[in-house]
Structure 1
Amino acid sequence: MSEIILHLTSGCGPDECRWVVGQLAVAFGKEARDAGLSCELLEGYDGLPYSLLLRVNGEGAMAFATARAGTILWIGDSPFRPHHRRRNWFVGVAIAPQPESMIDLKEEDIDYQAMRASGPGGQHVNKTDSAVRATHRPTGLITTAQEQRSQHANRKLARLKLALLLEERREQSQAQGRTAEWTFHKQLERGNPVRTYAGPRFTVRR
């Protein structure tokens, strides 16, 4: 069984793009189930998420993820500004890097600290020290994870977040002063979407 992590991001888009990220996670979950795959949101969220991580499991997970990686376009009226003229909203989907394959993310360079989970999404583990803070000593980057039920799973998630941050740093460097998220978002608008959804039910347009 293969496991793929999808990273959904609104880039530097407005609240509408953040809303699309949340709705797209729901749409992907339904599409995965229809394809005989499991699709799990790795972390809970409140409000409008800038980005989300989805774990897709099952035979064909890579093909499912590859078909959705790139620019996603949602066509619809703004749920926040009824009279806004814009109807095309872009978000990005990428296959998250595998921490084990990143030469600048060595396990011996990471300090893990167990802590008490709290806040939205952590209610089921509040009475145990299952949450994890991960610190990458060479860069000083810090991530936390608390949504998973076990400390081992949260440790794995925290390391994945470090991998995403390190990859973002590389993109920022290559962008020569422009932030990776902004560059990515502008590329999304210029590129051809790999999938297009329309309307409040996120119907796929062929």
Structure 2
Amino acid sequence: METIIQITAGKGPAECTWVVAQVLKTFMEEAKAEKIEVEVLEKENGTENGTINSVLLFLSGKHVSEFSKKWMGTVQWIGKSKFRKFHKRKNWFIGIFELEKLNWSTITEKDIKYQASRSSGAGGQHVNKVSSAIRATHIPTGISVQAMDSRSQHQNKKLAKQRLLLKLNDKKLKEYQEQFQQQWNNQLQVQRGNPVRVFTGSDFKKRKTDHTYKKQRQALKQQLRNESE
């Protein structure tokens, strides 16, 4: 399973770009622990050292969907500004979004058309008599490449397929980058409230949720004592 996600500071200030960089580190660590492969497709650094405006990630693995769902939405960091010492604001927000899946399917041999032709250039009589060059065309997109490196038609066919797959991968990456650029140009608005993750302090620790209800029990006991007196 595969997906593309974007971690972005949106229109946020330098503090938010620092949060993006910290979230990226945590995200990569958790992905590795869950055996999710992560590839950085595009990264835009912030104005301050060690900060990131936006990063585009390609995720692949067995449990990608479950993993990404835990991150989609707004991430909050509670802490003092690292760049403005006397700034009063302590809540900073960034966004994590999933990009629309492009209409790409797995490439199979049925999608590739091979055509043999005579090689051009140096090669003597062999070039004129044997059709050793191979052109490989990806039928759905019309993208084609040619291989004439070898005198072996079989070897040129392998080379042509390899080059075609590389070219198709480049096209796929460019389409993702264009999609990312379009979203960035639209200046994604990071929504505050109901964050999916909350981190605190300069050490960027995840804020734990208190599930013990200790305070509630103590308050209830005190209330009962007051009523019994």
Q: TM-score, normalised by structure 2?
A: 0.56
Cα distance in 2, alignment partners of residues 43 and 54 from structure 1: 7
Tell me by how many angstroms 1:155 deviates: 2.6
- Does residue 203 in structure 1 map to residue 205 in structure 2? yes
Q: Deviations over 1:37-93 (max 9, x none)?
A: 222222355444321112222111111111100011011221111221111110000
2:178 partner SS: helix
Calculate percent identity across the aligned residue pairs.
33
Q: What's the offset of the Cα at 1:152?
A: 4.5
Q: Sort the Cα spacing of 1:12 and 1:82 in 2 relative to 1 into closer, same or farther, 3 A.
A: same
Check conservation: 2:56, 2:180, Cα contact below 8 A: no
Cα offset, 1:203, TM superposition? 1.7
8 A contact 1:98–1:163 mirrored in 2: no
Q: Which residue of 2 aligns with 1:26?
A: 25
- Sort the Cα spacing of 1:168 and 1:9 in 2 relative to 1 into closer, same or farther, 3 A: closer
Distance 1:151 1:77, change over 3 A: farther
| Letter paired with 2:66 | A
1:114-136 CA distances to partner (integer Å, 9 max, x unpaired)?
xxxxxxxxxxxxxxxxxxxxxxx
Deviation at 1:36, TM superposition (A): 2.1
Q: Cα offset for 1:180?
A: 4.8
> Structure 1 residues 46, 93: closer, same or farther in 2, change over 3 A?
closer
Encode CA deviations 1:17-37: one digit per residue, 9 max, x unaligned. Answer: 112112211110001112222
Where do residues 1-206 of structure 1 align in structure 2 (5 Å cutoff)? 2-47=1-46, 48-100=51-103, 152-166=168-182, 180-181=187-188, 184-185=189-190, 188-189=191-192, 191-206=193-208
Do the aligned partners of 2:45 and 2:53 also contact (CA within 8 Å) in 1?
no
Aligned-partner SS, 1:73: strand
Flag the 1:56–1:81 CA change in 2: closer, same or farther, 3 A. same
Q: Offset at 1:151?
A: 5.3
- Measure the CA separation in 2 of the matches of 1:202 and 1:40: 23
1:159: how far off? 0.1
Whether contact under 8 Å (1:29, 1:40) holds in the other structure is: no
Structure 2: gaps (5+ residues): 105-139, 144-165, 209-229
Aligned residues, how many?
A: 146
Name the TM-score, length of structure 1 as normaliser: 0.62
Cα deviation, residue 161, structure 1: 2.4
CA shift in 2, pair 1:165/1:93, >3 Å: same
Q: Distance in 1 between matches of 2:178 and 2:42?
A: 15
RMSD: 2.6
Provide closer, same or farther for how the CA distance between residues 194 and 46 of structure 1 changes in structure 2, counting only shifts above 3 A. closer
Q: Secondary structure at the match of 1:156?
A: helix
Greater Rg over alpha carbons, structure? 2
Maintained 8 Å contact 1:3/1:55: yes
